[in-house]
């Protein structure tokens, strides 16, 4: 890493870059960001917290739930929307803990998921050509050329909206939002399907029984059941922004856990200690590289190879097995367990064709990443009227296939990555509520891709929990 600096990426070709008219405004905004304090701390990111948790996921000892908006807006930085999103992740994680019988690592797409890659930098609306909406930290959504012009001051606004969101998130969690002593206080909100409410309340009842037992025998003596960790994440798309918030920080002195014997398919590699001083991207705990910006010699791979944070890489049908292992060698040459999360997004009709070869290549390479399924992006389609949507049945199918393929390959599906919201939106077709294409217009509010609503997301958690129960008890319970 001696040849790496936070600005090394500027010497590489870049995809999805933003061209600003105001060069002086860009420099002023970036200089401001460089003076501001980190949004997340080294201790939160390092091995005492998130890195340790993801290491356990890679080893099959935990499960990671990652979810949130496709693209945040600055307006989403308000109490009700933050609470709705976080409470939904808490509800889903409780169900998944029960189903998989493993701890759940919660990572929200929040406090920074503003920018989105687009297929074209320009679009035509009502006969007028203008820049495409790239996210609130780049330009405005309103369809007029001036509003769509990239504005560098939005980079600083993104920082402060992220900071405000993080501040309220931390305060809410520390003051009891996630207290397992009263999970029913979380409220089921828009979930009105009786079967889902009944299943949820049944699991909550079992958790409360366990907590009462702990109190009775005197082992309920700490805050372990009163709060949880919720980490933040976003796609590391705007490298100018990420570079400005990258800091050379001292690494905590907590010793690295011993490395267990690797699977038979892996080569024995020592677990490399994190250097005493390392570069951290402090805009979020976890960043990922999108499927459109993962070029081997590209700027994004170059930036990501130098940061100490755990990172994600989206992989789809266009990724060859050899390219995948080359990327892993570049961003994780020490083969640190759980450092990289591979986020697969093939589509329900393609996953069986591509995932097995990717798993085999990674197993042969000696890397031990976290495998995560994104069943959203490969299943996007448009209705006859041109409305972008996703079918719940396709999302569920890709998740089930991912579980089965990993199990057959001797691998472990360590998590799922979802675009969801705690609001009662109507953007994805299907689910227990029976939303049809005709009903999409009732509350279609996304500014980019369609999201699961609260009802659909919680239902998905129950069904995935049911998959785990079926796999672990083939002769037993077939439904929750």
Domain containing 86 — which CATH number? 3.20.20.70
7 labelled binding-site residue? no
For residue 191, tell me if it sits in a domain.
no
377 within domain boundaries: yes
Q: Is residue 263 part of a domain?
A: no
Question: How many alpha carbons lie under 13 Å from residue 19 in its C-beta half-sphere?
Answer: 5
CA pair distance 70, 141, nearest whole angstrom: 14
d(CA 266, CA 328): 14
Q: Does the annotation flag 345 for ligand binding?
A: yes
Q: Is 419 annotated for ligand binding?
A: yes
Rg (CA), the chain: 22
Whether 271 is covered by a domain: the verdict is no
CB-based contact 458:196 (threshold 8 Å): yes
Q: Which of 147, 70, 173 is nearest to 115 (CA)?
A: 70
pLDDT at 466: 84
Per-residue pLDDT, 217: 72
pLDDT on residue 191: 62
Domain holding 81, by residue range, is 8-178+227-251+280-471
What pLDDT was estimated at residue 207? 66
pLDDT reported for residue 480: 36
Query: Any binding-site annotation on 106?
Result: no
Asked if 133 and 148 count as a contact pair (C-beta separation under 8 A), the reply is yes
What are the respective helix, strand and coil percentages of the chain, to the nearest 5? 40, 15, 45
Convert 379-414 to b/e letters by CB count within 10 Å (16 or more is b).
bbeeeeeeeebbbbebbbbbbbbbbebbeebebbbb
Amino acid 277: pLDDT: 72
**Residue 95 is assigned to a structural domain of this protein:** yes
Count how many domains the chain has.
1
Low-confidence ranges of the chain (pLDDT < 50): 47, 184, 223, 255-256, 259-272, 475-480
Q: Closest Cα partner for 464 from 94, 77, 69? A: 94
Element containing residue 311 per DSSP (H, E): strand 311-315
195 found inside a domain? no
For 201-244, what is each residue's pLDDT tens digit? 777 677 677 767 766 776 555 545 556 889 999 999 999 999 99
Nearest Cα to Cα of residue 157 among 73, 246, 247, 233: 73
**pLDDT for the residue numbered 42:** 83
**What was the pLDDT predicted at 34?**
97
- The neighbour count for residue 268, using CB atoms within 10 Å, is 9
Known binder of ligand: residue 70? yes
Q: How many CA atoms lie within 13 A of 423 on its CB side?
A: 20
DSSP letter, residue 452: B
pTM: 0.89
**Does 449 belong to an annotated binding site?**
yes
Strands 122-125 and 286-289 come out as: unpaired
* Helical (H) or strand (E) element with 42: helix 42-45
How many CB atoms within 10 Å of residue 11?
8
| pLDDT of res. 265 | 38
Query: How much is the pLDDT for 245?
Result: 97
Task: Provide the terminal-to-terminal Cα distance of the chain, rounded to the nearest Å.
Answer: 49
């Amino acid at each position: 890493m001696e040849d790496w600096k936070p600005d090394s990426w500027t010497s590489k070709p870049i995809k999805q870059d933003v061209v600003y008219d105001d060069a002086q405004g860009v420099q002023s905004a970036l200089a401001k960001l460089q003076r501001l304090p980190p949004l997340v701390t080294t201790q939160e990111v390092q091995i005492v917290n998130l890195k340790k948790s993801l290491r356990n996921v890679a080893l099959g000892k935990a499960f990671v739930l990652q979810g949130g908006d496709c693209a945040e807006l600055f307006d989403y930085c308000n109490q009700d929307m933050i609470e709705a999103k976080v409470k939904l992740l808490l509800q889903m994680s409780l169900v998944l803990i029960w189903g998989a019988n493993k701890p759940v690592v919660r990572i929200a797409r929040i406090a920074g998921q503003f920018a989105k890659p687009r297929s074209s930098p320009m679009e035509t609306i009502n006969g007028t050509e203008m820049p495409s909406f790239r996210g609130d930290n780049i330009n405005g959504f309103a369809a007029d050329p001036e509003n769509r012009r990239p504005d560098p001051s939005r980079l600083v606004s993104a920082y402060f909206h992220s900071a405000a969101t993080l501040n309220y998130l931390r305060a809410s969690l520390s003051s009891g939002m996630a207290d397992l002593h009263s999970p029913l206080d979380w409220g089921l909100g828009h979930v009105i399907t009786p079967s889902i409410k009944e299943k949820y309340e049944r699991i909550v009842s079992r958790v409360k029984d366990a907590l009462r037992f702990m109190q009775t025998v005197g082992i309920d003596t700490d805050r372990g059941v009163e709060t949880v960790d919720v980490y933040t994440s976003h796609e590391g798309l705007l490298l100018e922004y990420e570079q400005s918030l990258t800091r050379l920080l001292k690494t905590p002195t907590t010793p690295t856990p011993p490395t267990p014997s690797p699977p038979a398919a892996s080569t024995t590699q020592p677990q490399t200690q994190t250097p005493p001083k390392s570069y951290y991207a402090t805009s979020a705990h976890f960043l990922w590289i999108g499927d459109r910006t993962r070029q081997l010699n590209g700027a994004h791979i170059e930036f990501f190879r130098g940061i100490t944070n755990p990172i994600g890489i989206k992989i789809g049908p266009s990724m060859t097995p050899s390219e995948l292992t080359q990327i892993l060698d570049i961003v994780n040459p020490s083969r640190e367990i759980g450092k990289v999360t591979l986020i697969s997004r093939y589509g329900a009709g393609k996953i069986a064709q591509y995932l097995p070869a990717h798993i085999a290549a990674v197993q042969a390479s000696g890397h031990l990443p976290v495998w995560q399924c994104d069943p959203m992006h490969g299943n996007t389609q448009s209705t006859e009227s041109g409305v972008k949507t996703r079918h719940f049945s396709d999302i569920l199918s890709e998740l089930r296939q991912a579980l089965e393929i990993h199990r057959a390959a001797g691998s472990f599906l360590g998590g799922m990555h979802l675009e969801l919201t705690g609001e009662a939106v109507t953007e994805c077709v299907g689910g227990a509520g029976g939303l049809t294409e005709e009903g999409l217009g009732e509350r279609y509010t996304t500014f980019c891709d369609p999201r699961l609503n609260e009802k659909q997301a919680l239902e998905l958690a129950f069904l995935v929990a049911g998959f785990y129960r079926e796999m672990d008890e083939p002769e037993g319970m077939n439904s929750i």
